[in-house]
Amino acid sequence: MTKSTKTLHGAIALAGISALALTACTGPSGGGGTSTGSAGGGAITYGTTDKVVTLDPAGSYDGGSFMVMNQIYPFLLNYAPGTADAAPDIAESASFTSPTEFTVKLKPGLKFANGHTLDSSDVVFSFNRVMSINDPNGPASLLANMEKIEATDPDTVVFTLKAGNDQVFPGVLASNPGPIVDEEVFPADKIMDDDAIVAAKPFAGQYTIDSYKKNELVNFKPNPDYQGLLGEAANDGATLKHYADPNNLKLDVQQGNIDVAGRILTATDVADLESDSNVKVHKGPGGELRYMVFNFDTMPFGAKTPEADPAKALAVRQAIAHLVDRDVIASQVFKNTYTPVYSYVPKEFEGATEPLKSLYGDGSGKPSLEKAKQVLTDAGITSVVDVKLQYTDRYGTSAADEYALVKEQLEKSGLFTVDLKSTEWTTYTKERRRCLPRLPARLVPGLLRRRQLPHAVLHPRQLPGQPLREPGRDRRRQQAAGHHRQGRTERAAWPGPGSHRQGPLHPAPAPGCPGDGRRN
């Protein structure tokens, strides 16, 4: 349910939501608001445009794969519906026993659906496997802070961490590298085939997979042996149907061919569905932020430009922040499936404030041309500033409209000219990396810094239950986070989380991201 929608179809759908969607979607503020899970019975069909890369936890680090994994694999910690804190799932207890030691005690008598025993050895195997396979598509990077993992007895594992008191670590265990796999089934050194996985039934999550057609149809059956945090499945099973075209997804939910339509619907489709009496659109807060990022080296007056001047560069960034009209973008482009945000932390999160609201624009959230002019004049900038703005449509087809509007808003002021470019995703990824050479672990040598950023970095469609990604290692978030690491970026964070019931996260507030102190 991308950006905001959850749609229901009939009574069965309600039941279904509680089972599947709730399991899948833990959100900070009550998520989809579906607490009617007691309806019980029936099976639901959930449609999505997400894709599964692989069911092997060592080989995927994406929402589509994780969505399925979250149903079928057990986690040491997981998010209970409606909470933002990782709590023990198949673990009986999990806590720091010293600043660098995180000890987890498993519930007794755990079994996989194939009858194999699930004990601490499987847990150790699972985490070591992610690390040693270190697949480019895999989540090994999230375990960067893990030095080693040991089983002290069949029910106990101890994680030894490199840096102490890592408050993110419990969240890591509930995220992509977290699924516990059957060591009698999975090979230690390579990715396992999906069909082989399904055939071997190494499941110990809330559901098992009954039949599997990759990226077409996945049929889940409740796992009677599951005794974790999420509890017993409230339905008789669920079917996940993959779509390629969001339009088909929308039409099918409208016609009742599926019970729930999840990610990704376009803003227009959502607006359309809201007017359909057969479909109920659920909106909740989402964790997705859309923002622009400046490259401090190459932006106007940036460090590597001939006229480098940090004060002027700051003025440019501030002027842009003064000029962007979040309301207009939210309503025109996103049909209000996004809402303006004036913070690094969406306001749905506990304790979030809106510091940017008063800092920029007219003080009440609207843009201010006077202030923009003022800040530029004060910095001694008199000529029109040329800004190069680059975006990718990876994060939704609305990006083109969105940036066209940004361009218009900036140019209308007479203070800026905007050179707008769209880049295909693969190129985008490569170019972005070139611009960010100091990013650890994934940099491409031979740095070319010709490309200007502001990139538009959009905040990932969050997937249910992958709450705490270590930001710096999230491919899609990397840029923003990376900049933060270097303490060299700032964000004009605007239209924000439309709605998504989930993901406590976006990188900014995450501990270990020192960058957010550095704001304009």
Partner 1 sequence: MTTLIDAPPGDTGGILPAARKSSGGGLGQYILVRFLLIFPTIFILVTMVFFLMRITGDPITAAMGGRLPADQLQERIEAAGYDRPILVQYFEYLGQLATGNFGRTLTDNRAVVEMLTTYGSATLELSLNALVVALLVGIPLGMLAAHRRDKAPDAVLRVFAILCYATPVFFAGMLLKLTFSVWLGWLPVAGRAKTSSELALTSLEAPTGIYWLDALRSGNMAAFADVLAHAVLPAVALGLLTAGIFLRLVRTNVIGTLGRDYIEAGRSRGISEYRLVTKHAYKPALIPIITVMGLQIAVMLGGAVLTEKTFEWKGLGFQLANYLTARDFVAVQGIVVLLAIIVALTNFIVDIIAALIDPRVRY
Interface with partner 1 (CB under 8 A): 45, 52-54, 56, 59, 134, 136-137, 191, 193-195, 211, 213-217, 219, 239, 241-245, 248, 251-252, 255, 257-258, 426, 429-430, 433, 441-445, 475
Would you call 204 helix, strand, or coil by DSSP? coil
Least Å from the CB of residue 186 to partner 1: 13
Least Å from the CB of residue 51 to partner 1: 8
Least Å from the CB of residue 66 to partner 1: 15
Handedness of CA 297, 295, 140, 515 (dihedral sign): positive
Least Å from the CB of residue 428 to partner 1: 9
Handedness of CA 361, 363, 364, 369 (dihedral sign): negative
Beta-bridge mates of residue 335: none
Burial class (CB in 10 A: 0-12, 13-18, 19+), 240: buried
Which lies closer to partner 1 via its Cβ, residue 243 or residue 334? 243
Residue type (1 letter), 247: N
State the DSSP string of 121-189.
HHHHHHHHHHHHH--TTS-GGGGTTEEEEEEEETTEEEEEESSS--TTHHHHHTSTT-----TTTS-SS
First to last CA, the chain: 34
Least Å from the CB of residue 177 to partner 1: 17
Which lies closer to partner 1 via its Cβ, residue 107 or residue 214? 214
Which lies closer to partner 1 via its Cβ, residue 188 or residue 217? 217
Which lies closer to partner 1 via its Cβ, residue 144 or residue 251? 251
Least Å from the CB of residue 426 to partner 1: 6
Least Å from the CB of residue 322 to partner 1: 35
Which lies closer to partner 1 via its Cβ, residue 47 or residue 361? 47
Which residues are CB-neighbours of 389 under 8 A, at least 6 positions away?
Answer: 292, 403, 406, 407, 418, 419, 420, 421, 454, 456
CB 411 within 8 A of CB 391: no
Least Å from the CB of residue 130 to partner 1: 15
Which is it for strands 77-79 and 385-391: parallel, antiparallel or unpaired?
unpaired
Which lies closer to partner 1 via its Cβ, residue 50 or residue 89? 50
Of all helices (H) and strands (E), which one includes residue 222? strand 217-222
Least Å from the CB of residue 258 to partner 1: 7
Strand runs (DSSP E) across 20-60, as ranges? 43-48
Using only C-alpha atoms, the chain has a radius of gyration, in whole angstroms, of 23
Helical H runs in 363-489? 369-378, 399-412, 425-435, 478-486
Residue type (1 letter), 379: A
Which lies closer to partner 1 via its Cβ, residue 9 or residue 105? 9
- Joined together, the tokens standing for residue 424 give 């295909």
Closest CA to 241 of 43, 55, 462, 45: 45
Which lies closer to partner 1 via its Cβ, residue 278 or residue 377? 278
Q: How many helices (H) and strands (E) does the chain have?
A: 15, 18
Least Å from the CB of residue 482 to partner 1: 15
Beta-bridge mates of residue 149: 159
Q: For residues 137 and 84, what is the distance between their CA atoms, to the nearest angstrom?
A: 26
Which lies closer to partner 1 via its Cβ, residue 365 or residue 460? 460
Least Å from the CB of residue 442 to partner 1: 6
